[in-house]
Amino acid sequence: MKDDPVFYTESMAALCARQGYFEKSAQIYRYLLERDPGRDDLAKALAGVENAMQKPGQDADGQPGNRLESLIETWITLLVESNIQKKFDEIREGIKRMTP
């Protein structure tokens, strides 16, 4: 994810935390708190993420984290993208052969 505040939402921060990207999640929560400092729910969520950063192997709720799930999801996404890229390359080569 790029550092674009348009994507800095509570949902994105929570998603990052669930996937184990605690630094990014904390960054988003801090940004949201700067814009709306009275939000206790955001402050509590940030505290949970910061706590998880202090305790490796746990998620933002203090439960054992499943980083393997996130890694498998990333691997599958990259595999699919690689296959799509190969198909586009094959199409491109086919077009090159057809054009004089």
25 and 51 part of one domain: yes
Task: Write out the two tokens for 73.
Answer: 């999801």
Q: How many domains does the chain have?
A: 2
pLDDT value for 8: 92
Does 80 lie in the same domain as 31?
no
* Structural domain span for residue 51: 1-65
Looking at the structure, tell me whether residues 38 and 75 fall in a common domain: no
- Calculate mean pLDDT across residues 21-27: 92
Residue 46 sits in the same domain as residue 80: no
More confident residue, 17 or 55: 17
**pLDDT tens by residue, 29-80:** 999 999 999 999 999 999 999 988 887 655 555 455 566 777 788 889 889 9
Q: Which residue has the tokens 């799509």?
A: 84
Helix, strand, coil percent values for the chain (each to nearest 5): 75, 0, 25
Does residue 50 share a domain with residue 11?
yes
Residues 39 and 1 placed together within one structural domain of the fold: yes
2 in the same domain as 38: yes
pLDDT of the residue at 1? 47
Please check whether residues 83 and 93 belong to one and the same domain: yes
Query: Which helix (H) or strand (E) is 81 found in, with range?
Result: helix 67-98
21 backbone dihedrals φ, ψ, rounded to 5°: -90, 70
pTM of the model: 0.55
- Per the model's pLDDT, the better-predicted residue between 86 and 60 turns out to be 86
pLDDT of residue 10: 93
pLDDT band for position 11 (cuts 50, 70, 90): very high
**Unique residue bearing structure tokens 């999640």:** 25
Q: Are residues 21 and 56 in the same domain?
A: yes
* Dihedral sign computed on CA atoms, order 54, 60, 66, 68: negative
DSSP state of 57: T
Among 68, 74, 56, 60, which residue's Cα sits nearest to residue 25? 60
